[in-house]
Amino acid sequence: MSGFLRRCVGVLLVLLGVMALIFIVLRIVPGNPAAVLLNEHVNKETIERLTASMNLDKSIPEQFLLYLSGAIRGDLGQSYYMKQPVLKLVLTAFPYTVKLTVFAAAFAWIFGIGVGVISAIHHDRLPDYLFRGVSLLGVSVPVFMVALFLQYLFYFKLSLLPLGYDGSAASMILPAIALGWNSAGSVARLTRSSLMEQFNEPYLDTARAKGLTARQAILTHGLKNAMVPVITMLALQLSSMLSGAVITESVFSIAGLGKLALTAVQTRDMPLLQGTVLFSAFIISLGNIISDLINSILDPRLRV
Amino acid sequence: MIEDKLLEIKDLTVSIKQEKEMMPVVKGIDITIPRRTVVGLVGESGCGKSMTAKSINHILPSFAKVTGGSMMWHESSGKVCDIAALKEKEIRKRCGTDIAMIFQEPMTSLNPMMCIGDQIKEVLMIHKLEKNAEKAKARVVEMLDSVGIPEPAMRYRAYPHELSGGMRQRVMIAMAMIGSPKLLIADEPTTALDVTTEAQILKLIRKMCEDYTMSALMITHNMGVVSSLCDYVYVMYLGTIMEQAPTAELFRNPLHPYTRGLLSSIPKMGNNPEFLETIPGNIPVDKKKFKGCEFCLRCSDDIKKCFFEQAPLYKVSENHYVRCHVTGTGAASYTDEVENPDREYATAGKEG
């Protein structure tokens, strides 16, 4: 329990660090957001008035403290561009991203682990070469390529699935595959090597001496042992999935966190960008804690 | 020689793949395991003991293969079946119920992610020996108790890393015994344990053999284990049986120079020797076909014949056989002994 508390404190520290970092970086970048927001032809006084109302005339530490005290109260500021509270915008976008990430992770898991297991069992034979090729493609092809290719194949050529996201479950399939593709590739490769490492473990001999066939022994005893590094990796991939979501959500026009972040960057909407980054960091930390929890359930040696 | 046979291994050859070539590591051995008998298989590391054991229940590593011979399993009904020829699915039906095995390293031989009770229960589940999960669990607890695990009901949920080495080996024994096998293969079961635990585990194995009227094949390099546990002993060197005899007979009258070497290598209490006795030399590594006696390069009694011709198993007395030209034929041919001119040639040929 104290371990769990320590992890929570760790998460808070990480969030604080992320907040400070993004805050400073955004303020080092040249250009006054107030000037960007307003028309080129407004006079200087108007710009200054807006600057002051955004607290941008204060020193950076002062601005940070103001932001921090707001954040503790649940106020992440007002979006410059959309003129709405950041928290509200983020919370509206959040469910879409969660849905996308969960579907993508599910695809990466099922596909990646399945392919990895088949590869490992048939190692150095035809199915293995085939699947290894596929997973190498998975690791090396960028997300937007996969997304565009899937749209081309399933919408233009086969007319099976919708082009963009329209709220239906079917329209979530392509984005999920596009986003999960890379992870599926790495999950498959790690599952294969991790499972093959177990092949020489004596406990598999024990399992066979008990009466399990070689394949049963691998699938029941070996796979459980092989899963620990895979779960850890998937949690780490959550971050790359969230950055991939920026692209996927744009290609498939999903109003999620990624799209929100992209809009924020394009319009120099500092509070909104801070809000999305903070939220993403929070999700990634949460994912890591969850993966640790799963691993400690799976592997008794990790329990405290 | 023996009427009530359980397993009769005939001319077993196991080869390992080495640079696309199959190299025999077990070279046509015959071992007979009678019912209710503990048979020992002794030899130093790398002589093929474990390969022999693992070929019985088909768990050889992927680079090794049985390339010849048969293993006749005699059912109590009188039926005979060659288990060497069985397919994976068929041999697995016998593993756990007819043939059980315990291994050298009880830490790595148990699945670290499963609690020990479930690992033992698995045997009952695989072979459908007990369909009711609650009853199966009760049987496991009972078994844990009979192998001497304190508080068995509580230990059911323990994981391998929470137990000591001796406890883990007891768990392995429980796992082996729960299917009431007819043959227990023990592959150096006490090598990883300290001496006091070793004695307890050996005693437990002996007791289990008696309680379950079970035979055992003890693989070991430890002559002490042989003397305390085995009824009959096979001495193996480089994949060949060199000598076989009832234990008492072997200790009283060892005939093969290798057996003598093994016995004199046991440190003796009391007389504080300056040196420990050893067998000179190492196991030769030679890929080429060598027709002579494998031991002759390390043997002090060798004669010229040893270098050119492998000795047959000479029958010395009832149940005592030895594969040696010198001692097997009544130690008659000592006159034949000459300085071996080919010895240097053989060493040179190895490197070439």
Statement: residue B100 has pLDDT above 60: yes
In this complex, the residue of B96, B113, B172 whose CB is nearest that of residue A300 is B113
Structure-token pair, residue B111? 């699945």
Statement: residue A255 has pLDDT above 90: no
Q: What is the mean pLDDT of chain B?
A: 85
Using pLDDT thresholds of 50, 70 and 90, give the confidence band for residue A29. Answer: confident
Same domain, A94 and A233: yes
DSSP state of A173: H
Statement: residue A25 has pLDDT above 90: no
- Chain A residue with Cα closest to B92: A211
Instruction: Name the more confident of B157 and A243.
Output: B157
**Beta-carbon separation of A213 and B59 below 8 A:** no
Give which of A231, A225, A230, A234 is closest to A300, Cα–Cα: A225
Give the β-pairing of B21-34 and B314-317: unpaired
What is the per-residue pLDDT for A131? 86
Same domain, A151 and A273: yes
Instruction: Name the more confident of A242 and B3.
Output: A242
CB neighbour burial string for A32-47, b if at least 16 within 10 angstroms, e if fewer: ebbbebeeeeeeeeee
Distance from CA of A154 to the nearest CA of B (A): 42
Kindly state whether residue A79 falls inside one of the protein's structural domains.
no
Query: How many domains are there within chain A?
Result: 2
What is the per-residue pLDDT for B127? 92
Statement: residue B208 has pLDDT above 60: yes
CB contacts, 8 Å: A214 with chain B: 88
What is the per-residue pLDDT for B247? 94
Kindly state whether residue A80 falls inside one of the protein's structural domains.
no
Percentage of residues in chain B with pLDDT exceeding 90? Answer: 49
CB contacts, 8 Å: B113 with chain A: 224-225, 298-300
For A126: left if phi > 0, alpha if psi spans -120 to 50, otherwise beta; the answer is alpha
- Domain boundaries B5-230, CATH class: alpha beta
Kindly state whether residue A241 falls inside one of the protein's structural domains.
yes
pLDDT, tens only, B296-307: 878 887 777 888
What is the per-residue pLDDT for B70? 93
**Which candidate in A122, A199, A210 is best for mutational testing of the B interface (most B CBs within 10 A)?**
A210
Sequence-separated (6 or more) residues with CB below 8 Å from residue B38: B206, B209, B215, B216, B218, B229, B230, B231, B232
- The CA radius of gyration of chain A, in Å to the nearest whole number, is 24
Instruction: Name the more confident of B321 and B288.
Output: B321
What is the per-residue pLDDT for A237? 81
Instruction: Name the more confident of B350 and B192.
Output: B192
- Mean predicted confidence (pLDDT) in A43-50: 76
**Which candidate in B55, B59, B91 is best for mutational testing of the A interface (most A CBs within 10 A)?**
B59
CA geometry: angle at B224 spanning B221 and B228, to 5°?
A: 120
Domain that holds residue A201: 86-302
Give which of A208, A233, A229 is closest to A218, Cα–Cα: A208
> Can you spell out the DSSP letters for B242-308?
EEEEEHHHHHHS--SHHHHHHHHTSPPSSS--SS----SS------S---S-TTTTT-SS--HHHHH
Please tell me if residue A300 touches chain B, with a CB cutoff of 8 Å. yes
Kindly state whether residue A78 falls inside one of the protein's structural domains.
no
**Which candidate in A206, A220, A299 is best for mutational testing of the B interface (most B CBs within 10 A)?**
A206
**Beta-carbon separation of A211 and B96 below 8 A:** yes
What is the residue type of B120?
I
Statement: residue B59 has pLDDT above 60: yes
Kindly state whether residue A77 falls inside one of the protein's structural domains.
no
Same domain, A24 and A110: no
Contact B119, B175 (CB under 8 A): yes
pLDDT, tens only, B132-152: 989 999 999 999 999 999 999
Beta strands in B134-187 (DSSP E): 183-187
- Mean predicted confidence (pLDDT) in A63-85: 82
> Can you spell out the DSSP letters for A28-54?
HSSS-HHHHHS-TTS-HHHHHHHHHHT
Q: Which of residues 205-224 of A touch B (CB under 8 A)?
A: 205-214, 221, 224
Kindly state whether residue A119 falls inside one of the protein's structural domains.
yes
Same domain, A34 and A181: no
What is the per-residue pLDDT for B11? 92
Same domain, A29 and A93: no
Domain boundaries, chain B: 5-230
| Boundary residue ending a domain (A43, A72, A101) | A72
In the sheet that holds B320-322, the strands lie side by side as B99-102, B183-187, B215-220, B38-42, B232-237, B240-246, B320-322, B314-317
Phi and psi at A41, nearest 5°, equal -95, 10
- Mean predicted confidence (pLDDT) in B302-317: 83
Same domain, A161 and A17: no
| Boundary residue ending a domain (A28, A49, A72) | A72
3-state secondary structure of A76: coil
Structure-token pair, residue B11? 């001319």
Same domain, A154 and A294: yes
Same domain, A161 and A290: yes
Give which of B279, B305, B280 is closest to B293, Cα–Cα: B305
Statement: residue B351 has pLDDT above 80: no
Instruction: Name the more confident of A291 and A17.
Output: A17
Same domain, A47 and A97: no
Query: Which of A37-46, A87-96, B135-144 has the highest average model confidence (pLDDT)?
Result: B135-144
CB contacts, 8 Å: A299 with chain B: 112-113
Query: What CATH number does residue A144 fall under?
Result: 1.10.3720.10
**Beta-carbon separation of B126 and A212 below 8 A:** yes
Give which of B331, B295, B327, B291 is closest to B309, Cα–Cα: B291
| Boundary residue ending a domain (A48, A72, A96) | A72
Q: What is the mean pLDDT of chain A?
A: 84
What number of C-beta contacts closer than 8 Å exist between A and B? Answer: 81
Residue B42 β-bridge partners: B220, B235
Distance from CA of A198 to the nearest CA of B (A): 11
Using pLDDT thresholds of 50, 70 and 90, give the confidence band for residue B330. Answer: low
Phi and psi at A226, nearest 5°, equal -80, -15
**Beta-carbon separation of B103 and A210 below 8 A:** no
d(CA A232, CA A288): 8
pLDDT, tens only, B276-297: 777 877 777 665 667 788 888 7
What is the per-residue pLDDT for A304? 55
CB contacts, 8 Å: B62 with chain A: 199
A260-274, B34-48, B164-178, B319-333 — which is least confidently predicted? B319-333
**ipTM for the complex?**
0.83
Statement: residue B21 has pLDDT above 50: yes
Kindly state whether residue A81 falls inside one of the protein's structural domains.
no
B6, burial (CB in 10 Å: exposed 0-12, middle 13-18, buried 19+) = buried
